[in-house]
Structure 1
Amino acid sequence: MEQRTMGQHPAMDRQAVHDDYARARQTFHMLLDTASPADLARPSDGTRWTNRQLLWHMLFGYIVVRVLLVLASAFSRLPRPLSKASARLLDAATRPFDLMNYLGPCGAAKVMSPRRMGAVFDWVTASLERRLADEAEADLGRGMHYPVRWDPFFKDFMTLADIYRYPTQHFDFHHGQLTVDRPS
């Protein structure tokens, strides 16, 4: 049952976020540890990426949260129309974003080994867990508007609490598109 704090937003279940990060971390390592080079090179299901590229994209979902938290913290202190205008501007740039979002994993997966991806996943999730532990409850209700065309999990307005939950939603969605554990 969610509790309301300060009458504005539901209290965040921080332990649930930690548990989700731990589950994703365990899943990510299992996928990396059991996938053969041929599995990693195989196309994923429903994307133009290989499994290796999609795994990097799943990792990047956690990396980008570090930036989103800084942006939301800053924009939440400004008049709300500024974040709304920024989100609209970013929505207008969806096509270049989509291209960069596609090409980024194509290049990154070539230079980052699966072993390194696992180490970065551990580092970034631990970093997010430490930051979440330090967040004041009132700050978790702060937020900003987001470009909803960029990601199916972006909402028009997202709080810091929403942003902490986002990478695991993104991870779980893309996990279903991997074909590493399916027969060729």
Structure 2
Amino acid sequence: MRAQSWQAMMNAIAMDRQAVYEDYERARQTFHRLLDSASDEDLARPTRGTKWTNEQLLWHMLFGYVIVLRLLVLVRVFGRLPRSASKVFARVLDAATVPFDWVNYAGPRGAVKFYGPRRMGAAFDRVIDSLHRHLASEPEARLARGMHYPVRWDPFFKDFMTLADIYRYPTQHFDFHHRQLTLSSGDGL
């Protein structure tokens, strides 16, 4: 009976890898289209609902994918520990929300001085390719492991997320922020 329960749980949380790959590719194409069509004036324009420019928000959208590579490591570690370990970790991070918010805000402002649109496009390609490789190599059982997250850090963080959830996270983040762009190409409107 225990093996059947395990199999039932695995089937319930089975991840549609192809759908995730397709979402990554859609985001990649959208990101390149946004970068390729944006003028310098577009990139410098303020966004809707943030204190960033379009260029800074585009970098933040890229960073949503970059951070997942780090989150994968955390889930692999905490997914092997008792859930209470990640719960304590998440509470500590939630307590540090104010400094996190400041770094999260300031990071894109500084990053765009180093990363221009061309570098952002190349970085986006590298991180998407890396996520493809990581996801392709994940055993199903590992995708079911998870940990607690600091829910105050991001509206898409849930109290407990599996590795499968983490692979889906960056595109949710990307789509949300895409709507805040104010590019003259009409994207984000």
- TM-score bin, normalised by smaller chain: over 0.9
Q: Determine which of 151, 154, 161 is the counterpart of 1:151.
A: 154
Structure 2 residue runs without a partner (length 5+): none
Structure 2 residue aligned with 1:8: 9
For residues 179 and 94 of structure 2, the distance between their equivalents in structure 1, rounded to whole angstroms, comes to: 26
Shift of residue 67 of structure 1?
Answer: 0.2
Structure 1 residue aligned with 2:50: 47
2:37·2:185 contact (CA, 8 Å) conserved in 1?
no
Structure 1 residue runs without a partner (length 5+): none
**SS in structure 1 of the partner of residue 8 of structure 2:** coil
2:97·2:153 contact (CA, 8 Å) conserved in 1?
yes
Superposition CA RMSD, Å: 1.3
Aligned residues: percent identity? 69
TM-score by length of 2: 0.93
1:87·1:146 contact (CA, 8 Å) conserved in 2?
yes
Tell me the amino acid that sits aligned with residue 149 of structure 1.
R
Structure 2 residue aligned with 1:70: 73
Tell me the amino acid that sits aligned with residue 86 of structure 1.
F
For residues 121 and 22 of structure 1, the distance between their equivalents in structure 2, rounded to whole angstroms, comes to: 11
For residues 179 and 125 of structure 1, the distance between their equivalents in structure 2, rounded to whole angstroms, comes to: 24
1:6·1:138 contact (CA, 8 Å) conserved in 2?
no
**Residues 4-43 of structure 1, C-alpha deviations (whole Å, 9 max, x = no match):** 9722242100000000000000000000000000000000
Structure 1 residue aligned with 2:96: 93
Tell me the amino acid that sits aligned with residue 17 of structure 1.
V
Structure 2 residue aligned with 1:163: 166
Shift of residue 181 of structure 1?
Answer: 3.0
Q: Determine which of 38, 41, 60 is the counterpart of 1:38.
A: 41
Structure 1 pair 76/32, CA: closer, same or farther in 2 (3 Å)?
same
2:38·2:185 contact (CA, 8 Å) conserved in 1?
no
* Alignment pair present for 1:27 and 2:50: no
Q: Determine which of 152, 177, 181 is the counterpart of 2:180.
A: 177
Structure 1 pair 82/182, CA: closer, same or farther in 2 (3 Å)?
same
1:94·1:149 contact (CA, 8 Å) conserved in 2?
yes
TM-score by length of 1: 0.95
For residues 85 and 166 of structure 2, the distance between their equivalents in structure 1, rounded to whole angstroms, comes to: 19
For residues 100 and 39 of structure 1, the distance between their equivalents in structure 2, rounded to whole angstroms, comes to: 24
Shift of residue 79 of structure 1?
Answer: 1.2
